[in-house]
Amino acid sequence: MRISRKRLFFLLLLSFSTITFIRLLIITTTFSGPSSRHLHNRFLIDSFSQDPFTSKEFNLIQFLISKRAPCNILFFGLSTPQHLQLARLNHGGNSVFLEDDLNNIRDHRSEGKRDGVEMHLVEYKFKTSEAYDLLRYARNEEDCWIVPDELHSSRCKLALTGLPRVVYKKRWDIIVVDGPSGSEPDQPGRMSAIYTAGLIGRIKKSSDMNPTDVIVHNVNRTVERWFAWEYLCDENLVASKGRLWHFRIKKKHQSKLFCSQKAIQIL
């Protein structure tokens, strides 16, 4: 029995439709249940709730610490296990973490005590969305140009002057800026952390004139780039890997400008 073209076309169309329906039914049954959807969303959250260093970025910091240890290291941020791994390299030195998320401190407190590090809860006043206005304010405010004798005496509102006493007492050899998160406009931004790192690197402690190494993570983001250029300066940039910049800040007292070059242009 011969089948007409029209009937053959109808049978083929019916077959393809049936196969497509069965495949769709399998996919829906497998992935559309509440538990699987919850797990999928949880995976996305877990993937992006932390922003770890890449292997090249981590190795750069690791090499720096191994060269300067034992020393004093100040970490802005404690969001990944990598931070504690770096602190362990500082045998015989002092490692202090400043973290704005109490849960991160609770999660790592026991491990931190075992490694002999300090963890302090801090609060940041400014959100990432305020970065543009803050930079304009700081450029027009003389108190933000001057390097004070002591960090806590700075009158610039960008400076972190309410930190734990240990921050003001010690001379810091290495500062790692990897916090606060700053990944969303309504989250605390890293403007004050970077500005404060720039101050700490320039304030003289007695006769010590050793430079301070400052690491800034996530320079792929606009805020981190702006404030690193402005307060850590291109002439101090000694290395970069991926989203990480390494600055070496020499002690400088009572300077009208943080950087010798012309200020960056905000577009």
Taking only the tens place, the pLDDT of each residue in 101-115 is: 999 999 888 776 766
Residue 206 neighbours by CB distance under 10 Å = 6
CB 225 within 8 A of CB 185: no
Amino acid at 189: G
CA torsion angle 90 229 219 253 (round to 10): 20
* CA dihedral (135, 137, 139, 144) positive or negative: negative
Q: Can you point out the beta strands (E) in 100-254?
A: 118-121, 174-177, 212-217, 237-241, 244-249
Tokens of residue 200, six digits: 């700490």
Tokens of residue 161, six digits: 């002057």
Q: How far is the C-alpha of 187 from the C-alpha of 181, rounded, in Å?
A: 7
93, pLDDT greater than 80: yes
Domain spans in the chain, listed from the N-terminal domain onward: 5-49, 55-249
Q: How far is the C-alpha of 74 from the C-alpha of 172, rounded, in Å?
A: 7
CB 78 within 8 A of CB 108: yes
CB 135 within 8 A of CB 227: yes
CB 223 within 8 A of CB 190: yes
CATH code, 55-249? 3.40.50.150
Share of the chain above pLDDT 70, in %: 73
CA angle 51, 77, 46 (to 5 degrees): 30
CA-wise closest residue to 255 among 201, 176, 206: 201
pLDDT band, residue 239 (cuts 50/70/90) = very high
pTM: 0.78
**pLDDT single digits (tens) 119-157:** 999 999 999 999 999 999 999 999 998 888 888 889 999
221, pLDDT greater than 60: yes
79, pLDDT greater than 70: yes
Q: How far is the C-alpha of 258 from the C-alpha of 232, rounded, in Å?
A: 7
CA-wise closest residue to 173 among 65, 46, 53: 65
Distance from the first to the final alpha carbon of the chain? 76
* Choice between 14 and 114, residue whose per-residue pLDDT is larger: 114
31 dihedral zone (left: phi>0; alpha: psi -120 to 50; beta): alpha
Q: How far is the C-alpha of 180 from the C-alpha of 60, rounded, in Å?
A: 21
CB 247 within 8 A of CB 237: yes
Q: How far is the C-alpha of 124 from the C-alpha of 251, rounded, in Å?
A: 26
